[in-house]
Amino acid sequence: MVRYRKPTERSGDIIDVRGSGGRRRPGVAIGAGGGGLAIIIAIIVALLTGGEGGGLGDILGDLAPAPQTSAVESPLDPATDPQADMADFMSVVLDDNQAMWQEIFSSSGRQYQNAQLVLFTGFTDSACGGADARMGPHYCPLDQQMYLDLDFFQELSDRFGATGDLAPAYVLSHEIAHHVQNLLGINEQVRQLQQQDPSQANDLSVRMELQADCFAGVWASTVFVGQLQTGENLALDPGEISEALEAAAAVGDDRIQMTTQGRIDPESFNHGTSEQRQRWFQTGYDQGDPNACDTFSGSV
């Protein structure tokens, strides 16, 4: 199991609105993930077509390898909150991820701006038109916030067979990776080029999602394997990375389609197959370097 040092208070980047209700407003949240994991932030990227603005190699080329080594009060009472342990775990994973990206960006002469994680139940407002639990976890680039209904993890386990503590950590790390893509300017290139070649929409969406999986693997490569030591927040049992790989497979387009509709339609893939998602997470984990996550060059 993943062991973690329970925080004395939750991350200052968590906004917990569970139990406070939500106000629906018009709009559509930016691309909910197929089957519930991660948004499709973008559709068209010039990185495959040689368009203006440089390629992915230009964006990632100077990122350093991963380092190897004000709290918002919840409306729920932690003493009676049945999801308190998961909320605490997400807090630790969030801060650990963002500390890694802060160091990577700083080493590369860039400035990392923390994303915030909104914990909600059912529905809550967002700058993307609202966050609905039926979308699954997702990132809104307009407010730089990630939205998570913790009930999703029970569905991920019960319906798709992704169990273990590292599965939720993979999910959150994937969403943080979308924030990283936003900060790197990939999403802006997407918006500019979205109108130019919609015929590549699904293929480029898959590549975007696979890169987020790879970035999640980079984070996993920094988590200490063994016993918690002074100053460490997280520790894994040897071989536990298989839980993240199982989660990546569980949210592959092919498995989700077979589970939900009994057939597979490759033309509608927008996140990648189970095999692709596992492979790119493993690539990030093995390499520990975001520069290894160029999913936009060649085949995936």
| Structure confidence at residue 40 (pLDDT) | 33
Look at residue 28 and tell me whether its pLDDT is greater than 80.
Answer: no
| Structure confidence at residue 227 (pLDDT) | 86
Q: Collapsing DSSP states into helix, strand and coil, what is residue 248?
A: helix
Poorest-confidence range of 8-12, 166-170, 296-300?
296-300
Cβ(131)–Cβ(28) below 8 Å: no
| Structure confidence at residue 71 (pLDDT) | 41
Residue type, 107: S
| Structure confidence at residue 232 (pLDDT) | 87
**Residue among 180, 178, 191, 172 at smallest CA distance from 234:** 172
Cβ(183)–Cβ(112) below 8 Å: yes
- Cite the beta strand spans of the chain per DSSP E: 3-4, 14-16, 116-119, 123-124, 131-132, 138-140, 145-148, 224-225, 234-236
Per-residue burial over 106-135, b = 16 or more CB atoms within 10 Å of its CB, e = otherwise: eeeeeebebbbbbbbbebbbbebbbbbbeb
Rounded CA-CA distance 256/120 in Å is: 24
| Structure confidence at residue 48 (pLDDT) | 31
Angstrom distances, CA of residue 87 to CA of 83, 94, 122, 165: 6, 10, 16, 12
**Residue among 105, 112, 131 at smallest CA distance from 36:** 131
Region 10-35 average pLDDT: 62
Q: pLDDT tier at 210 (50, 70, 90 boundaries)?
A: very high
**Residue among 67, 95, 75 at smallest CA distance from 8:** 95
Residue type, 265: D
C-beta neighbour count of 99 within 10 angstroms: 16
Poorest-confidence range of 32-41, 92-101, 182-191, 217-226?
32-41
Rounded CA-CA distance 70/57 in Å is: 36
CA 125 to centroid of chain Cα atoms: 20
| Structure confidence at residue 147 (pLDDT) | 98
**Rounded to two decimals, what is the model's pTM?**
0.84
**Residue among 210, 239, 279, 202 at smallest CA distance from 2:** 239
Condensed to tens digits (0 to 9), the pLDDT of residues 144-158 reads 999 999 999 999 999
- Cite the beta strand spans of 61-173 per DSSP E: 116-119, 123-124, 131-132, 138-140, 145-148
Cβ(2)–Cβ(169) below 8 Å: yes
Condensed to tens digits (0 to 9), the pLDDT of residues 220-253 reads 999 998 888 878 899 998 888 999 999 999 999 9
Rounded CA-CA distance 296/206 in Å is: 10
38: left (phi over 0), alpha (psi -120 to 50) or beta: left
Query: What percent of the chain clears pLDDT 90, i.e. is strictly above it?
Result: 61
